[in-house]
Structure 1
Amino acid sequence: MTNNNINNNKKKFIKLKYYYGRDLAILLADKICSVYPSFQKQDFIDTVDRKTNDLELKERIKIITETLHDYLPLEYAEVVKILIGILGPPNPYETGMFKEGYWIMPIAFFVETHGIDDFEISTNAIYQITQRNTGEYAVRPFVERYPKQMSSLMLEWSLDTNVHVRRLSSEGMRPRLPWARKLDQFISDPKPILPILDNLKQDESLFVKKSVANNINDILKDNYDIGIKLLKKWSGSQNTNTQWIIKHALRNELKKGNTEAIDLIQSGKR
């Protein structure tokens, strides 16, 4: 067995939270120093190490983010320029947030917590971040604060050439995204999401299709009539990607034996 295989096997048994401590602080500090040499590298590392030891995942990410804020005492736009400058090339794979670029999560949280008053700078940053990790959590406060602007931007992103950006246009608008606060505005009225999903209904990416189906599954929980009406509209399509989304979106309804859902699936097979 090669050393790489041994290291990979060891990684499988490390709790996720332990990735967000001293080692990640070292990685971040080295990257920041490459574009901002006056960064107090060792103080940053030692502070993160001291403060994260007894914490769980979310608290660790928060500490790293706030320590970044403390050790980058610059205007928000300048800090974002530094942080975006260390991201590296986009992730070419259709992978989730913990498969590639896991170290970027504190940067996303930085934009989420410190950038709410700077719409253009922050959304441009999220556009870059999501191509390497994910912007699905960072984007949600902006959806709440700027609903019309974000609906328009997400509609634009749903047509993007980058698969991660297209996925974000759905995932970031999910009413009940796991590990995130609910978007009550879309639980009350999910109609602003529908044009975005409509743009994605024939997407060939499994990464995107899963998000679209999960979004509709969220909608069905609170607004069944709106969700089922959308799926009925799509059901006449012979596109295999659309049919996959319909079936996956209805998985919970099918488990419950919902005859309307069963009929909808059967109609797509004809």
Structure 2
Amino acid sequence: MKYYFDGELAQFFGHQISLIYPEFPRNSFIKGVNNLVKELELKERVAVISKELHKALGLPYVDAIGILKQMLGPENKTEQGMFANGYFLMPIAHYVEVYGLNDFDVSMDALYEITKRHTSEYAIRPYLLHYEQEMLEKLRIWAIDENAHVRRLVSEGTRPRLPWAKRIDVLSDDPYMNLSLLEPLITDHSKYVQKSVGNHLNDLSKTYKEETIEWIKKMHKLHGKNINWTVKHGLRSLIKVNDQDALAFMHRVGE
């Protein structure tokens, strides 16, 4: 997939941006990307395109992201992730991640729109570190959003062990803060969201086993077998190593 992020994608970006911002130096942008990506892996290629966009646009962040948002395209109506839909938007999400930290509200609006088409699970993580309280308020609103991709972002973006991302500790150094964000999502009707919640619980169980199992028991008392699939997915690492507490719980609930 890394070869998708090369001069051909730069040509696409150059064409699309020029339709919105005719002053965009598309040729030098394409040349810059072509010259820099050849020996790089996927994540580094995405970062190069993001950096070259920043250099070529040469605009204040608010103006630049305003242009980039106009090329996002239609929302992803499927329950498929970033490797099936919208992956050309990875450099734009990275742009917000790197260049938008000083413009919280503008960046949150951008990430909200990006995640409905691709994902913002990586781009959101620096904001969790820099604006924890503001992010908690935003995430609690997004957790009840009508869009499944936005709801999934609440779980996926805050995962302590998100693949491909730098590990982060739980919010406010308290696993129950993460679990509180998962509470409205534990009964989500979307399998896409359920899987993310299970993955998040699995992450937490590796460091905060007792707290995770205690919370799962509490949720099961409230919601019963409706959440069995999600919690089994969340306890899978403990089950794999024959953890007796996890096995006893799953046996009790009939799984």
Establish whether TM, by shorter chain, passes 0.5: yes
After superposition, the C-alpha distances for 1:231-254 in whole angstroms (9 at most, x for unaligned) are 1112222352x1111111011111
Partner of 2:20: 35
The alignment status of 1:238 with 2:224, answered yes or no, reads yes
Partner of 1:259: 244
Aligned match of 2:199 in 214, 230, 235? 214
Partner of 1:82: 67
Aligned residue type for 2:79: E
Q: Secondary structure at the match of 1:184?
A: coil
Tell me if structure 2 keeps the 8 A contact 1:111–1:125.
Answer: yes
The alignment status of 1:26 with 2:17, answered yes or no, reads no
Aligned residue type for 1:117: N
- Counterpart Cα distance in 1 of 2:186 and 2:45: 37
After superposition, the C-alpha distances for 1:74-95 in whole angstroms (9 at most, x for unaligned) are 1110001001111011111111
Aligned match of 1:96 in 50, 74, 81? 81
- Counterpart Cα distance in 2 of 1:185 and 1:100: 29
Aligned residue type for 1:95: Q
After superposition, the C-alpha distances for 1:35-70 in whole angstroms (9 at most, x for unaligned) are 111111121111111111111111111110000001
Offset at residue 180 of structure 1 (A): 0.6
Return the TM-score normalized by structure 1. 0.91
Tell me if structure 1 keeps the 8 A contact 2:119–2:153.
Answer: yes
Q: Secondary structure at the match of 1:222?
A: coil
Aligned residue type for 2:127: F
The alignment status of 1:122 with 2:101, answered yes or no, reads no
Tell me if structure 2 keeps the 8 A contact 1:151–1:193.
Answer: no
Partner of 2:183: 198
Partner of 2:45: 60
Offset at residue 155 of structure 1 (A): 1.1
* Seq. identity, %: 41
- Where does the alignment leave 5 or more consecutive residues of structure 1 unmatched? 1-15
- Counterpart Cα distance in 2 of 1:163 and 1:81: 24
Tell me if structure 2 keeps the 8 A contact 1:187–1:219.
Answer: no
- Counterpart Cα distance in 1 of 2:28 and 2:129: 36
Aligned residue type for 2:18: C
Tell me if structure 1 keeps the 8 A contact 2:170–2:178.
Answer: no
Aligned match of 2:131 in 115, 132, 146? 146
Number of equivalent positions: 254
Q: Secondary structure at the match of 1:98?
A: coil
Partner of 2:56: 71
- Counterpart Cα distance in 1 of 2:179 and 2:197: 10
Aligned match of 1:111 in 92, 96, 102? 96
Aligned match of 1:223 in 208, 215, 225? 208
Aligned residue type for 1:112: E
After superposition, the C-alpha distances for 1:240-269 in whole angstroms (9 at most, x for unaligned) are 2x1111111011111111222122112223
Offset at residue 123 of structure 1 (A): 0.8
The alignment status of 1:51 with 2:36, answered yes or no, reads yes
